[in-house]
Amino acid sequence: MANKTLMAYIKSLKKPIFSTDELSRVSGKSRSAVSQGLSFLLRQGLITRVSHGLWYEGNVSPSLYLAVPYLLRKQRAYVSFTSALHIYGIIEQIPQSVTLASVAHTRKIRTAIGVFVVHRISPHFFKGFNWHKSGMDFLIAEPEKALADCFYVSAYKGKRFSYFPELYFPRDFSFSKVRNWIKEIKNPRVRIYAAKQLDEIIKIHGKSS
């Protein structure tokens, strides 16, 4: 690593969370050599392990959402469902885990900074998301798509996302957009179920679609 220390390379990344692979690329050293160096820094208390191959500097946990781009190596994932609805202020209650949508298999990922639950979305329905406006590097569903995603998964998972705590919809929230997303669901049974779920929420909250 020439005269530059591994810690200096970590600081040069300017990222709250970083991977072993990123550090290997920026330092020009093998993954094995970097892993050994990271193990030393871990023992010194200078870095903390988030999960396999994922780290952060110091011992103050960064935002869970910053880990999202690193969780699935071969697939993208975006924050959706109740986690996205909470970020938008539609749900006040803080979800116990960060809920993600991906074309990868459904799974639960436990890390040192929190738990992430990945729900599988069909490739044709994997859209309606963008980078979070805060500047943090994670993808998030638009509010209407997050609600549509809840209905989508609920149709397959039974009780999952079939009940919501109190909902607070902002004035610019569009139920028409939700209905348009539902129309894109290819499975007729799931599409009908999602439409009925939306009708129930509209009835409760007194808004037209």
pLDDT digits (tens, 9 = 90+) for 102-161: 999 999 999 999 999 999 999 999 999 999 877 668 999 999 999 999 999 999 876 777
Beta bridge partners of 79: 100, 140
1 inside domain: no
Kind and range of the H or E run holding 54: strand 54-57
Query: Which domain range does residue 47 map to?
Result: 6-57
Question: Of 16, 38, 57, which residue is a domain's last?
Answer: 57
3-state secondary structure of 189: helix
The answer to whether residues 80 and 110 belong to one domain is yes
- Whole-angstrom CA distances from 46 to 8, 49, 62 are 12, 10, 15
Domain count, the chain: 2
The answer to whether residues 118 and 194 belong to one domain is yes
The answer to whether residues 30 and 119 belong to one domain is no
The answer to whether residues 37 and 124 belong to one domain is no
pLDDT digits (tens, 9 = 90+) for 22-77: 999 999 999 999 999 999 999 999 999 999 999 999 888 888 999 999 999 889 99
The answer to whether residues 112 and 48 belong to one domain is no
Work out the pLDDT band at 2, boundaries 50, 70, 90.
Answer: very low
Annotate 55-117 with three-state secondary structure. EEECCCCCCHHHHHHHHCCCCCEEECHHHHHHHCCCECCCCCCEEEEECCCCEEEECCCCEEE
The answer to whether residues 120 and 169 belong to one domain is yes
pLDDT at 207: 59
The answer to whether residues 51 and 71 belong to one domain is no
